[in-house]
Amino acid sequence: MIPRQGTAAPYIPMLIGAVSCVLLARFGFFGFLYLLPLGIMTAGYGFRAAWLCLILAVLGNGLWSAGTAVFSPQPWDEMLWGIVHFTLIAAAFTWMMAPSFLEPSEGSGNSAPARIPTVYRFVIACCIPVVLILPMIVSLRQDTAFSGFIRTQAEALSALYASSAGADVVKQSLLEQYLTPDFILETLIFSALRGGVMVSCMAFFFINRQIALALVWVFRRIRKGGILADFRVPYVFIWALSCSLLAILAGRRWEIEPLEITAWNVLIVCAILYLAQGGGIAAYFITRANLPPFMRLALNFLLFLMIVSPGINAVLLGGLILLGIAENWAPFREPKIKGPSSTPGM
C-alpha cells in the first residue's frame, strides 16, 4: 500500500531509486529511462517518497558531476550546466506525477489541496526540457565542430546515395546539388525548433510514466490513473490550436522567427493531445462494441499494423487528430460527469 501520513518512509526503495536514477542517466543503452525510478516511487510509494528520492538523486548527481570534473578535463561550466539540466528535468517529471507535498491524513476531514489537472501538468513539465534544449539547438548554427561532424556525415550519405544511383547521371547530379551538408544541417535545426524537440520530450516523459505505472501494477498491484477511452482534452486547447495556426502564418508573413517557432511548438502540443483524444474515441467504441475477445484483439492488432505501416499511418494519425478536434462540437462519447481531464493511461 502507499504509505499514509505518519508512516515510516520507504528509505531502502528511495535509496535504490536515487542510485538507479543517477546511474541510468550516465551509463548504458537505457539512459532514456533515468526518470523511471522517480515514476515508480510516485506510483508505488507516494509523492513524499518520490520527492525525497528526487532530492537524493539530485545530491548524488551533483557529487558525481563534481567528482568527475575534479579528476577529468571537463570544464566546470559544462559540469554546472549538466547538474542544472538533470535537476530541472527530474523535478519537472516528479512534479508532473506527484504535484503536492501535502496530503490530508485519513479521517482528518481536510480536503485535498487544489491541484493543476494532469493534462496541464504534463504540458508544462514537457515545456521545461524544451526551453533548456532549444537554445542549444540554435547555438549549433555557430558551432564549427558540430557543423564539421554533420558535413562529414552528409558527405558519406551523399556518396552512398550517389553510388546507389548507379549510371543515372541525372539522379547523381540532383543528389550532389540538393543533398548538401548545409541543407542537412538547416533541415535538422528547422525541424528540431519547430516541434521536433517537443515531440521527443513528450514521448520521453510519457514512456517513463507509463512504464512506471505498468511495473507498479505488475509487482505491487497498485493501479493508478484512467484509461485512454476516458481521455478528454480541455476545450481551451481548441483556442490554442487556432491561435497557433494564425501565429505561424503571421510569423512567416512578417519573418518573426521566435513567434513562428513558439507557434509551431504550441501546434504540435495540441496535435498530440487531440491525437490522444481521437485514439480515446476509437478505444471507446471498441470497448463498447459487443465483440468477442478474439475479434477485439484482432481489431487492435489491425490498428497497430496500420500505425506502423508507412503512408497508411500518416492518414490514420491525421484522421485521429481530426476526430479528436471534431469532438469539441460533436460529442461522440457520453459526456463525462465530473473529474478533470487526464493524460492517456493516467
Residues 6+ apart with CB under 8 A from 26: 64
Number of H helices, E strands in the chain: 13, 0
pLDDT of residue 106: 37
pLDDT of residue 146: 66
CA proximity to 240, closest of 219, 262, 212: 262
pLDDT of residue 110: 44
Tens digits of residue pLDDT in 36-93:
999 999 988 888 899 999 999 999 999 998 888 888 777 777 888 889 999 999 999 9
pLDDT of residue 137: 80
The DSSP letter of residue 2 is: P
CA proximity to 158, closest of 137, 173, 143, 138: 173
pLDDT of residue 151: 65
Single pTM value for the model: 0.81
pLDDT of residue 204: 94
pLDDT of residue 253: 92
Q: Which long-range contacts (CB under 8 A, 24 or more apart) does 136-143 make?
A: 137/189, 137/192, 137/193, 137/197, 138/189, 138/193, 140/185, 140/189, 141/185, 141/189
Element (H, E) at 135: helix 118-139
- CA dihedral sign of residues 25, 31, 32, 36: negative
pLDDT of residue 2: 40
User: Does residue 227 sit in helix, strand or coil?
Assistant: coil
- CA dihedral sign of residues 214, 218, 219, 220: positive
Query: How many C-beta atoms surround the C-beta of residue 117 within 10 A?
Result: 14
* Burial of 209: CB neighbours in 10 Å, binned 0-12, 13-18, 19+: buried
Contact by Cβ (8 Å): 68, 79: yes
The DSSP letter of residue 345 is: T
CA proximity to 224, closest of 212, 234, 232: 212
CA distance 139 to 146: 10
Residues of the chain under the 70 pLDDT cut: 1-9, 28, 100-114, 141-151, 153-155, 157-181, 225-226, 308, 335-346
pLDDT of residue 6: 40
C-alpha cell at 25: 542517466
